[in-house]
Amino acid sequence: MSDAHLVETRLSSEQLVQGNFLDVRRDTIALPDGQRATREYVVHPGAVMVVPILDDGRVIVERQFRYPLQQVILEFPAGKLDAGESRHACAMRELAEETGYRARQWARAGVLHPTVAYSTEFIEIWFARDLYLGQRSLDQGEFIELLAMDPDALDAAACQGALTDAKSLIALMWLQKSQSGQWPLTWVSVPDAQQG
């Protein structure tokens, strides 16, 4: 099936903001019917999220103050890609930096697009198991509290409105689907030496 009747074509682009993290653009586009319009959006380098599973079945989650919302948010470990970094390398790095854990088994679940209306951001979802604890290495100015939660308790937190982070809600769903056998994961071993 062709999507040609839905495609918008860029005619011109201007950068509105270039900050340390945000790159905001405004494009003039041709709509499928030939009319012109503008689209404003954020260019994002992409990110990963990790669902770390302990041997007892609990998962590692984080509590972190998110300034734009002015509240502490419960979420899975995640972070943006560095230039030239592979998605798997980013997942291993973020897990180690934010939690101190490394994993001997990894499975790539899939990709989500959290804000399709105004950002190029994608988040690749990774699962990690056979965890072992090492040194944590938070970024300067980063304050993260770690929790080990039973998936049922995390599900209850979602039901009660205590888990509202979209990427983490998707990861919880993926965890439940994989545990039920509906969405199987393919696990790959990663030697300790490659964990950083």
Kindly state the average pLDDT of the residues 162-188: 97
Task: Work out the mean pLDDT of the chain and round it to a whole number.
Answer: 95
Confidence of residue 191 (pLDDT cuts 50, 70, 90): confident
Given this model, what pLDDT does residue 81 score?
95
User: What is residue 18's three-state secondary structure?
Assistant: strand
Given this model, what pLDDT does residue 52 score?
98
Cα–Cα dist 166/170, whole Å: 6
pTM (two decimals):
0.93
Buried residues in 15-52 as b, exposed as e (16+ CB within 10 A): eeeeeeeeebbebebeeeeeeeeeeebbebeebbbbbb
Q: Judge whether residue 87 has pLDDT over 80.
A: yes
Give the position of tokens 């390398």.
89
Q: Judge whether residue 119 has pLDDT over 70.
A: yes
Q: Judge whether residue 192 has pLDDT over 80.
A: no
Q: Judge whether residue 135 has pLDDT over 80.
A: yes
Given this model, what pLDDT does residue 196 score?
60
Given this model, what pLDDT does residue 161 score?
96
Query: By the 8 A CB rule, do 184 and 103 touch?
Result: no
Over the stretch 33-57, which tens digit does the pLDDT of each residue have?
999 999 999 999 999 999 999 999 9
Kindly state the average pLDDT of the residues 92-108: 97
